[in-house]
Chain A
Amino acid sequence: MSHPNLLAGIETCDDAGVYKITEDLALIQTLDFLTPIVDDPYTFGQVAVANALSDVYAMGGNPLTAMNIVCFPVNDMDMAILHDILRGGLEKMREAEVLLVGGHSVEDPELKYGLSVTGTVHPRKLLLNREARSGDLLVLTKPLGTGIINTALKAGMAPGELVRRATETMAELNRKAAEIMKDFTVNACTDITGFGLLGHACEMVDGGDTGILIHSSEVPVFPEIREFAEMGILPGGLHRNRKFRISMVEQGPSCPDWLMDTFFDPQTSGGLLVSVPETDAVLMAKRMNEEGLQYASIIGEVSDEPKGIIRVL
């Protein structure tokens, strides 16, 4: 599908669709919905909204309006649960200064909640996945491991305090990171979600003229997940992600197997992965740390060689 005004569509792996309305205004559209990943309905609503809005932030845009998407087992579940989910979602939209303008609900045996989101961006400020340049450094803004923690929770093995920290991370908007990003030269950006760090990094360079080096020891992860990863408490999505992209990835001897697994862990509402020229990257990561994004770190670099390959050192 192509059109002179279509700036990002289904052909690329970008995070949202983008349509240019005028020379200085483009429309961003995206939708995302989830099955519950936390037990508390209010918190689930918050995470689902943070997750749905993230795609707009990852395109360099501002989310403006949203509509609820609700699938709910009306006859089998207490309506109070739905009210709490919607309340959590609305609270997160208020925090993001996004207006809820409608929605749609259907009866479904499995609960799901999310948003359709509309935002805007100046066409020249639009950030695509695939414009990372050789010499850029890569900044990741949230720690990895929420998929593994969720699997450990199902196994009854995750400590409550770890679950609380992971949930807080998932419910955190990528808004502040996106706002800070606007003060620096940014060449490319995506958010880390279902394909994991390496899956999304692969999208940045697949078939292109650049490759990526990841410094595994610099990547922020929840430290407690090492034990779970080594014990094989890993979600199915992690193995699917690995199988899909392993031909594009080289694991160096200094990266342990558990960490390599973690880099394929599917994330819910993960951080932004931002490709920034070296000087700006250092300043940007520092500024993010100073403004409360404690995990934001420079995790790697974009290189001329090996083209289309992620090398994990």
Chain B
Amino acid sequence: MSTTIDARGLSCPQPVLVTLEAIAEGSADRLEISVDTDTAVENITRAVKSKGWAVSGVAEKDQCYVVTVVKE
């Protein structure tokens, strides 16, 4: 199952925390997280790796990023 998270406008480290919450919740094996800073992309990349997930793609659109992460 895929879940979409809008973390735009959240300041660091909130985007990481909402991503980790979604992983801990356990129902999805794929997340699409919208963020608006490079920092959030970098931090989410590290956060999901520590949980055995991986970034499968980062799409840039209208000064935002959609980070797709999947359970490995």
Contact = CB atoms under 8 A, between A and B. Distances in A.
A71 interface: no
Interface in B1-50: 12-14, 16-17, 20, 37-39, 42-47, 49-50
A112 B17 CA distance: 28
A151 interface: yes
Interface string A70-96: 000000000000000000000000000
Interface residues of B, number: 17
Contacts of B49: 230
A69 interface: no
Contact of A154 (B13, B42, B46, B50): B13
Instruction: Give the interface size class of chain A.
Output: 10 to 19
A36 to B, nearest CB: 15
B38 A232 contact: no
B44 A232 contact: yes
Interface of B: 12-14, 16-17, 20, 37-39, 42-47, 49-50
Given A230-B50, A231-B16, 18 more contacts: A151-B12, A231-B20, A231-B50, A232-B42, A232-B43, A232-B44, A232-B46, A232-B47, A232-B50, A233-B13, A233-B47, A234-B12, A234-B42, A234-B43, A234-B46, A235-B12, A236-B37, A239-B39
